[in-house]
Amino acid sequence: MLPSTRLQPALNPDNLTHANWQQPGHDTLPVLSVQQVRSLEHAAFAQTDSFLLMQAAGLRTALKIADQIAHSEPHNLRCVVLAGPGNNGGDACIVAGELKRQGLEVALYQVTEEKTGSKDRMQAVLWALAHGVQPVEIQDSAQLPDINTNTLVVDGLLGIACNRAPEGLIKSLIRHVNDRVKQINSQTRHKQVRVIALDCPSGVNCDTGDAPGEAIYAHTTFSYLACKHGLLTGQGKTLTGDLWIDDLNCGELLDELLTGPLTETLEQTSNKPVFGKSILALSRVDQLQRLPLRGHEHHKGSFGSIAVLGGQQGMVGACVLSARTALQLGCGRVALSLLGETDAHLPDVQQQGQTLFLDLVFPEIMNKGLESNLEFADIATIGPGLGQSEEALQMLLAVLEHDKGLHMVWDADALNLLANNASLRARFKHYRSKHPTRALVLTPHPLEAARLLQSTTEMVQADRHAAAQAISERFNCTVVLKGPGSLICNGKSIEINITGGPALGTAGSGDVLAGAIAALLGQGLNEFDAAAFGVYLHGLAVEPTHGEQHGLLISHASEIAVRMKNSLNSLLNQLARHHSQLP
């Protein structure tokens, strides 16, 4: 007889929440490590039978799948359910039994690898048998399942405990699924085979997002109890596909984990930093709280004066992109200092052979010599189009040796010079100790991050959280580690960005982001909030707006900047309406 407890997991799938929400009203999404999820599981097991949780996960997922099939999938759909040796395989057995009960054609394949499995997993097999599903034991590669058109594959091979490359039959099975799905779907515009992963795609490290070997490419992932770090960043974000979270009615326990005694216990027993209180993926409603309201008393001096430094010969456009973005996102004033510039009078148009520049589209952008610009500005964006010449190095040293402490955003070749030059790093460290209260944001992509850490891109991507933490600590700054699921880290807190898409992968996109962060610093946001909100807006710019189905699939950097401005204005209007409704 099952114990009577206050925690009874509901079997209704309607409270599944989409992790990539965009509408106001959703709560911020806490993102947990595997260790924290285990703690949450143990707390739940103290209040209910563990098989009830497995049953709830499987049933709610199966009901959601059946609902999607009823609305969009072909009537002759065949479900191929793959069950591994662990409890993730138990979830798969429950899904198979319920899909069969819903009247679907179901084939259940399991790989036990001579492991007995837990009591719950064995009970899940009995559940499947009781509902008319006979598991097929895969013992060699000759028994791999047929995957043809109009097939739905449910992946329950490996769960959140996976921290190394899959081996043996499971490796072969993952490769077989990926190859067949790619082969079939490449022959038609419509996906004829879809893959749904249970809790996580098999082969993904749920702490880091790394996939060191074969890993399932899922179209949809149902994550149980809470979202895991690795599903939102790096390879994990790509492999996860459309992400849904089901807390299995354990939301109150999760709150206790994040704020109560469970967190204290975790911090005492862990041998590495625990981010229970600090790794978050913020919803739009919380991002809104970061926005500064503008009053009638404000003027251009209230919103920051930005110096954009860089622009070697042939790369002036990078500085212009950054400066234009800063203006479009609300900074008060912006001036360029381009390599080789003098104090000569500005021409009416750009002059051949000179680095003096007049932007005829944005004539508000000024040109100043470096010394004049450092006196003018309170924020500097350093690196767009800079190059790595001796002249570029001297520009950076001049900034760090200037008496006036500026808020700074370092990007692109400024980061490469910092990584490669010991004297520059020494001046950088001295500057930081002299001006500890000034905002400092570094915005590396994975290769630049590897150079800053004297490491490799592969090592950075294998544990993006650790890499972001290490850069933040080494340079005493807030770091934006760019890539799928960009990370924002200041050494104490980490935030995972949930916006974005492939359209961000275009020349000048990073210059736009650097200008955006500088503009937000100029409007009074602290360095962490400016970095996080800038990254959020940057990603939001390529997502669907009203009337669009898919958002931007292909873009150029100038278009991204314009859409960022439009998104910001929309958010500011929402915030103004909210404040007008307050008593």
Q: 202 among the known binding-site residues? A: no
Q: 484 among the known binding-site residues? A: yes
Nearest Cα residue to 273 out of 532, 529, 33, 527: 33
Which amino acid type is present at position 569? N
Q: 510 among the known binding-site residues? A: yes
**Dist CA 267 CA 270 (whole Å):** 5
Which amino acid type is present at position 552? L
**Dist CA 80 CA 152 (whole Å):** 6
Q: 445 among the known binding-site residues? A: yes
Contact status, residue 236 vs residue 193, Cβ threshold 8 Å: no
Contact status, residue 386 vs residue 392, Cβ threshold 8 Å: yes
**Dist CA 108 CA 154 (whole Å):** 9
CA separation, residue 325 to residues 322, 346, 476 (Å): 5, 22, 26
**Dist CA 236 CA 518 (whole Å):** 30
Q: 273 among the known binding-site residues? A: no
Sheet of 279-281: strands edge to edge?
227-228, 29-32, 279-281, 494-496, 487-489, 478-481, 440-442, 407-410, 379-382, 305-310, 333-338, 366-367
The torsion defined by the Cα of 364, 370, 376 and 378, in degrees rounded to 10, comes to 100
Contact status, residue 338 vs residue 307, Cβ threshold 8 Å: no
| Residue 302: DSSP 8-state | G
CA separation, residue 167 to residues 142, 146, 487 (Å): 16, 21, 30
Q: 485 among the known binding-site residues? A: yes
Long-range interactions of 69-72: CB distance < 8 A, separation 24+: 69/104, 69/152
Q: Pinpoint the alpha helices (H) of 151-307.
A: 168-185, 234-240, 251-259, 261-269, 284-288
Nearest Cα residue to 157 out of 81, 79, 99: 81
Contact status, residue 407 vs residue 378, Cβ threshold 8 Å: yes
Q: 49 among the known binding-site residues? A: no
**Dist CA 43 CA 257 (whole Å):** 9
> Given its phi and psi angles, is residue 113 left (phi above 0), alpha (psi -120 to 50 degrees) or beta?
left
Q: 486 among the known binding-site residues? A: yes
> In the structure encoding, which two tokens stand for residue 166, read together?
């899959």
**Dist CA 567 CA 561 (whole Å):** 10
Contact status, residue 57 vs residue 91, Cβ threshold 8 Å: yes
Residue count of the chain: 583
> Helix, strand, coil: what percent of the chain each, to 5?
45, 15, 40
Q: Are strands 407-410 and 379-382 parallel, antiparallel or unpaired?
A: parallel
Q: 500 among the known binding-site residues? A: no
Burial call 100-135: b when 16+ CB within 10 Å, e when fewer: bbbebebbbbbbbeeeebbebbebbbebbeebebeb
The binding site for (6S)-NADPHX consists of 318, 385, 445, 511
The binding site for AMP consists of 482-486, 510
The binding site consists of 318, 385, 445, 482-486, 510-511
